[in-house]
Structure 1
Amino acid sequence: MKIKTLFASILAAALASTASAQDTKEFLGRWDITVTPATGKPYPQWIELTENGGKIEGRVQPRGGAWHPITGAHMESGKLIVTVAEAAPGSGTNSATNWELTSPSPGKLTGVEIHGDAGGPMLTGVKAPSLDRPTPTKWTKPSPLFDGKDLKGWEPIGNVDNNKWVARNGELVNDNPEVPGQRGHGAANIMTTEKFQDFKLHIEVNCPEGGNSGIYLRGRYELQVGTEGGKIPSHEMGAIYSHYPPPAGSELGLGRWTTFDVTLVGRHVTVLRDGKVYHDNVEIPGPTGGALDSNEAEPGPFYLQGDHHGVIAYRNITISVPKK
C-alpha cells in the first residue's frame, strides 16, 4: 500500500510538472505589448520570456530607458504572474509591479498591470514577428528627407507646444540649449511624415559635448546620439540603445560632424560611423525605450529626439529603399 501511495504521489507530481510546463509554454517568446491606461494614450512596451530548468526568466522593456530583467514569474489559476519591477526605493510603498497575463489564443496576450492590490493599465500583446527576410540586392537612388530649407516632410511630436526644431543654414537643428541645473527635458521630438519599411539611411549629426539625442528607426529602434555620462556603453554614441554598445574604445567625437550610414532589413541592422562598422547585421530583439508604438511588422517614420538637451544639428539626411 505504501509503495502504491508513493507511486501515486510521484505520478501526480510528474503530471503537475508536465501541466505546468504546458501552461507556461504558450507564454514563452518575444511579445509586443500595448499598455492602455485609464486616462491618456496607449503606449508600447515589450517583453521576452524564456524557460531555464523549469524556471521562467526574461526581460522587459519599459516605456522609457533601458530593458531590465524580470524579477520573477509563476503560474497561478491559469494566469502567468510576472514581476516586471520591484518597489522603487524611496517610493513609500513595498508593492512591486506585476503583470497578470492570460493567453486567450495562440500568439496573443491579455492582462492587467497590478501595483500591490490596485489594478492598473490594461495589457494586450501579440507575438513579435520574426521579420526575417533577405537583404535586397538593388536599392533606389538616395533621396533627401530634409531639403535644408524648411521643415517640410517633418512634424513635431511629444510636447509640440515647446518645439525647438528649426531649419537653419542647411541643417535641422534642435535649438534647445542646456540650462545650468536643468537637463532640457520637455522640448518636442520631430519625425518624418512618411513611413518606411526596409531602407538605407545616410545622416550626419553634430552633437555638442554633453548632448543627448537619438535616431529612431521606424520610430521603434534607437540609434544613440550623444552621451548619458559614459557609465553604460550601450547608452553611448552609436549604440543600438541598451542592446549593442559601440565598438570598444570608440570615441564619442562630440562637438564635430559625424556620419551614420544605417541599413535596416527586417529587424537586422548594420551601422557604419564615418565608414567604420559599428554593428554588422545584428538582430534588434524588440522596440527600445521611447518607441512610438510596438507594431513591429508595420512601416514607421524616422524620429529624432529633441526632448533631452543640447543644440544638436542634423544634415544631409537621405534614404534609399529596395527596388521593386
Structure 2
Amino acid sequence: MDVTIIGTCHGSHMCFVLSAKPLRKFRSVTGQTALRYIATIGRHATRHRQLHCRPTHTIKTTVSATCLCILLPEQAMRFFPPSIALGACVAFAASCFGIAGGKEPAETIAAPFSGHTLFDGESLHGWNLENQCKASARHGELLLEEGNGWLRSDLIYTDFSMHLEWKALKEHHYDAGIYIRTPAGGSPFPTHGYQINLLEGKEGNIGTLKGAMSTGLVKPGQWNIFDITAVGSRVTLLINGQQAYDVDGLTTAAGHIGFQIEVPMGGQFLIRNVRIHELSHQSLLNGRDMTGWEGADRDASACWRVHEGVLECDGRDGPWLRSLLEYEDFNLRLEYSLDEGGNSGIFIRVPRDGTHHRAQPSEPPAGFEVQLLDDRAKQYDALKDFQYGASIYDICGARQKVGRAAGAWNSLEINCIGNHITTTHNGIRVVDVTPESHPAISLRKTKGFLGLQNHKTTVRVRAIRIGPPLPDQHN
C-alpha cells in the first residue's frame, strides 16, 4: 500500500498519515506497542535527545477511510524534532498496515545510540562484583576474567533500552549471561530475575520466558551486538541488527543489570560499548548550561558553571543552586566527585529559602539534606554518624562508608515515597528511613525544591536525572 505523509505538527502532539487507498485492514495495537516503535526510531537518532515517555501513556488512534491520526504523548513530541516524530509515525503506520515492504523498524541494522554510558572503558565505576569472581577494564573493554559470580550495576533499572557488544574468548562450549531486572545477591549467581544467555547455541535466549529464543543470529568467534529493550512486561532483543524476539511476560518491574562470570566452565568474555537509555527518567542537566536551575537569591555564575557536561561549584562565595520546579515523590540519580576534604550536599524537598533543619513542629517548614563528604579526610574522623556521605543530615547516618577516594566519581540514588526515604551509595543501600524507624522525618516536607549546596569546597556533579520512585527493593 502506498502511503503519503502530509505532515507533522511538532508540539501539537499529532502526526498524520494519508493513504492513497482506503484502509480496509487495521490491526489494532496497544499504546505500549506504539511506544516501542517510537523508542526504536529514537535509538537510531544518535544526535537527538532521549525519549522520556512512560509506557503507561495511551496512544489513541482514529481510523477513517483515508487518514490515520496518531495522538502521541506530549513528552515524546517535546523531546523529538519533527523529523524523528515523522519517522516514528512511518514506523507505526508500517506496523499497522503492513507497508514499507513488510519490514518493521526492528529489522533494520542497529546503529549506536546516545545514552548514559554504563561502562567507561577505564574502570569498574558504576559496578559491584558479587561473590568469588573477577572482572577488569582493559583497553576500553570489560574482561570477565575469573571465578564464578556476577558483576552487577550500582543502580536498579525499570524501563530501558541498552546497547552492548560481546565476544567469547573460548572457541567452543562458552557460557556467560546478561542479567536484567535482577535483585542483588545469590551465590554464586542470582536466583531471581532474568538472564539473557550467552551459552553457545542459546545466545540471547531467556530460559524462563516463553518465546524469548532464537537461533542463527550470532557470529561465532566475532563481536556480536545486542540491543535490549524492556518496557513494562515486554522485552525485545535485536542480535546484530536482526530481531530475535519481542515477547511479553516479565513479572519483575525493576532490578539490576549485570554480567554472569562463569570462567571455570564457560571461559572468558569481553564486553564493550555498554550504553543505556533510562526510559523512566528525565535529565535535569542538559550538559551545556544551567537551564532548569537558578542561584538562590544570587547569580549562580558567582560559583557555578557547566564545563564539558559537568556541573561544577568552585567553592567561591556564592549561592546554593535551586531547581526551578518542585518535586514530590521521585527517584533521583546522579554522580558526584569531591576534592580532598570536600563537603557538600543535595537538598531534597526544601522550601524556596532552602531550610533543611527542623527539630520541632513549631519551627518553619523544612526539607532535608543528603550529605556529600570526603569520608576519608582526616579532619572528618570524629563526626556524628549522620554527617558522613549519603546520610540524611540530622536524621540517619549511613550504614556503611562506601565513598570513593577524593577525585573519583561516586554514584548516588535517592528514592522518596512520602516519608519513606532510601539512599543508595555506589550500589549499596546505606539509608532506609521511615516515620516508624526515624520519627524526625515526619517533620520534613513531602514536596519542595531540589538543591545543590555550596559549602565552600569544590564539587562536581553529572548525569543528574529524575523519574518515578522505584518499587521497594533491598540491597
Task: Tell me the TM-score normalized by structure 1.
Answer: 0.48
User: Greater RCO between the two (CA within 8 Å, min separation 6)?
Assistant: 1
Task: Tell me the TM-score normalized by structure 2.
Answer: 0.33
